[in-house]
């Protein structure tokens, strides 16, 4: 596998030029500066490139091993690499100072996350889940739980997990059957949990002192369905009154999954209550476990999108390095590397253009998160949150779908060598494939966008984004050489508006509204993803063109213009076909009988 270099220059382009460091102007970030952010990115790049990335292939080969005592041993070097991350203070960079974190903007935390996931996706999953646990506990935990657990989670010496799925439940969490039995008053204010959870990422490992499980379960008298589910905190080791670790709780790893990829990440089946019951503590209100868990889920969904972008970036680097090295065939009459062949250039430029667009959109979403959390004006916070709500399903689903395609294209650039494990291209494809599935499959993300998010405000938040796209169209059309990009982007914006109206109108139909949303959701999200990423690439073209005019960093900005031209004139037209899919209607899906084939 070729070495990985964290894309610091590309990240700085988005933060400095596309986003203009606007997050730093928000209340709470007064001590941060562009120089500080640049130093953070450079240091994170060292950790990613020098410590985490060299372990990626080893983790894939070795995998994780469950011991007879139910513990899990990580691949060689993983625990040490995680400790280097903790000792560097990286776990708390996006956590508020009030909770013991660094208090840096979400755009910076997301940039660091992309580097780490590109370096080693399997290892990057551990702090990603911990971040979600911090978010859920900070919002919904009691003062006592926060005081006991948050400081160690923020520093990273304890890690967090999310326990939703059960063998019979899958994505339908209303079928959760794990029981939480209240303890007698004399025993204490806690519960004993009994049940089994599957697909628990980093559910057991030897990289941290303690593991804090956030678990969905039901009290014995809870009603059926979603309203009967509560959220509980279940530590691997119980915590004494003085903060020291006590005895092992009644939760154990029953098995680890044998997966297509991310072999260095222990995905566990956890058994709660094989003996007296796993001691757990109620988080938030009874019966509102799903609501509380979705605080964690939304945090995780944006990070999964960023994770996909990290893998896409590494696939890009891998493919470019191979194409520039592999001599095969002739170009202009002499032997040449395959990078000289236009079909290979098509693949390389497609990979680069899409990765750049995905990154810009994900960081734009992160910047809106910063506004939603920190802006002084309440109306500004609410408007930003409405955009975040629309963007998160797009960032999660579109980024991860595209990451799989980008990694697959990377294999294709390698030709037969891409199908050989030793080159490393195949691992990136195998690793990326899980991201469209977890934290809610991408179909669920599409239903969230086309159903809940679009219908609840009549498309107002998305319409606001389309207006920004159209403003960029005007800038491009007025810019001379970039006018053709404006024409293409205008057509994409018109398609998205038209498709939005179809989904809104048919989604309101009392007879077939739910069917319409289910039928159109995925093509609608794909269309939105193409248009919004192309929008970001149009903005990138404007910035790059202005920089070239001033004589700045010519090769870098020339490559940005090439990527933008490809994204708007060759990639966006493919995505625009989703409008035709929606306009074709849903009759073929409604009439299809799967049992007849």
DSSP secondary structure of 523-569: HHHHHHHHHHHHHHHHHHHHHHHHHHHTT--HHHHHHHHHHHHHIII
- Count of C-beta atoms within a 10 Å radius of residue 555: 7
Q: What pLDDT sits at residue 181?
A: 96
Question: pLDDT tens for residues 444-493?
Answer: 999 999 999 999 999 999 999 999 999 999 999 999 899 999 999 999 99
Q: Which residue has the higher pLDDT, 299 or 319?
A: 319
Enzyme catalytic residues: 439
Task: Note the pLDDT tens digit of each residue in 181-208.
Answer: 999 876 778 999 999 999 999 999 999 9
Whole-number Cα distances in Å, 527 to 450, 524, 581? 12, 5, 10
Q: 390 pLDDT exceeds 80?
A: yes
pLDDT surpasses 80 at 52: yes
By the 8 A CB rule, do 404 and 304 touch? no
Distance CA 53, CA 309 (A): 15
For residues 21 and 40, what is the distance between their CA atoms, to the nearest angstrom? Answer: 14
Separation between Cα atoms, residue 298 and residue 226, nearest integer Å:
18
* pLDDT per position as a tens digit, 247-266: 999 999 999 999 999 999 99
Q: What is the reported pLDDT for 186?
A: 63
Would you state the structure tokens that stand for residue 165, as one six-digit string? 């799925």
For 116, residues 6+ apart whose C-beta sits below 8 A from its C-beta are 44, 47, 48, 52, 85, 123, 124, 127, 310
Domains of the chain, earliest start first:
441-587 (1.20.120)
Which DSSP string do the residues of 17-84 spell out, in sequence order?
Answer: IISTTGGGGSTT-TT--HHHHHHHHHHHHHIIIIIIGGGHHHHHHH--EE-TTS-EEPPTTHHHHHHH
Eight-class DSSP state of 422: G
Decide: pTM greater than 0.85: yes
| Model confidence at 299: pLDDT above 80 | no
């Amino acid at each position: 596998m070729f070495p990985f270099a964290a894309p610091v220059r590309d990240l700085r382009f988005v933060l400095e030029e596309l986003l203009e460091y606007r997050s730093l102007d928000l209340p709470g970030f007064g001590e941060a500066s562009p120089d500080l952010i640049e130093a953070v990115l450079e240091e994170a790049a060292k950790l990613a490139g020098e410590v985490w990335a060299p372990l990626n292939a080893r983790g894939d080969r070795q995998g994780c091993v469950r011991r007879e005592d139910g513990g899990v041993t990580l691949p060689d070097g993983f625990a040490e690499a995680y400790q280097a991350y903790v000792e560097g203070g990286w776990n708390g960079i996006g956590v508020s100072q009030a909770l013991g974190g660094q208090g840096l903007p979400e755009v910076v935390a997301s940039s660091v996350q992309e580097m780490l996931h590109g370096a080693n996706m399997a290892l990057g999953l551990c702090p990603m889940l911990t971040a979600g646990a911090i978010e859920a506990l900070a919002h919904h935990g009691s003062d006592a739980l926060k005081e006991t657990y948050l400081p160690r989670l923020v520093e990273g010496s304890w890690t967090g997990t999310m326990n939703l799925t059960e063998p019979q439940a899958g994505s339908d969490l209303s079928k959760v059957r794990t029981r939480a039995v209240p303890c007698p008053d004399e025993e204490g204010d806690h519960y004993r949990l009994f049940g089994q959870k599957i697909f628990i990422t980093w559910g057991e490992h030897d990289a941290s002192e303690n593991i804090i499980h956030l678990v969905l379960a039901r009290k014995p008298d809870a009603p059926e369905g979603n309203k009967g589910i509560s959220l509980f905190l279940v530590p691997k080791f119980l915590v004494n009154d003085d903060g020291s670790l006590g005895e092992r709780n009644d939760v154990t790893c029953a098995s680890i999954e044998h997966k297509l990829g991310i072999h260095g990440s222990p995905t566990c089946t956890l058994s709660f209550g094989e003996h007296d019951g796993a001691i757990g503590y109620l988080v938030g209100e009874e019966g509102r476990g799903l609501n509380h868990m979705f605080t964690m889920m939304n945090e995780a969904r944006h990070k999964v999108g960023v994770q996909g972008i990290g893998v896409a970036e590494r696939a890009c680097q891998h493919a470019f390095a191979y194409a520039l090295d592999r001599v095969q065939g002739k170009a202009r009459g002499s032997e040449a590397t395959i990078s000289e062949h236009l079909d290979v250039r098509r693949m390389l430029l497609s990979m680069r253009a899409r990765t750049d667009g995905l990154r810009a959109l994900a960081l734009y979403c992160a910047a809106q998160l910063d506004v939603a959390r920190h802006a002084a004006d309440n109306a500004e916070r609410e408007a930003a949150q409405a955009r975040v709500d629309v963007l998160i399903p797009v960032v999660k689903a579109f980024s991860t779908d595209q990451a799989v395609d980008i990694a697959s294209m990377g294999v294709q650039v390698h030709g037969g060598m891409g199908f050989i494990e030793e080159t490393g291209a195949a691992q990136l494809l195998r690793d990326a494939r899980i991201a469209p599935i977890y934290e809610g499959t991408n179909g669920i993300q599409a239903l969230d966008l086309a159903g809940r998010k679009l219908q609840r405000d009549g498309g107002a938040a998305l319409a606001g984004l389309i207006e920004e796209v159209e403003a960029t169209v005007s800038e491009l059309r007025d810019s001379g050489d970039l006018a053709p990009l404006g024409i293409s982007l205008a057509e994409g914006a018109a398609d998205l508006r038209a498709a939005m109206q179809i989904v809104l109108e048919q989604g309101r139909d009392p007879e077939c509204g739910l069917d319409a949303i289910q039928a159109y959701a995925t093509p609608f999200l794909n269309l939105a993803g193409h248009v919004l990423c192309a929008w970001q690439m149009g903005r990138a073209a404007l910035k790059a063109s202005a920089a070239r005019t001033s004589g700045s960093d010519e090769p870098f900005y020339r490559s940005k213009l090439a990527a933008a031209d490809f994204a708007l004139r060759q990639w966006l037209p493919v995505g625009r076909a989703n409008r035709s899919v929606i306009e074709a209607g849903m009759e073929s899906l409604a009439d299809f009988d799967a049992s007849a084939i």
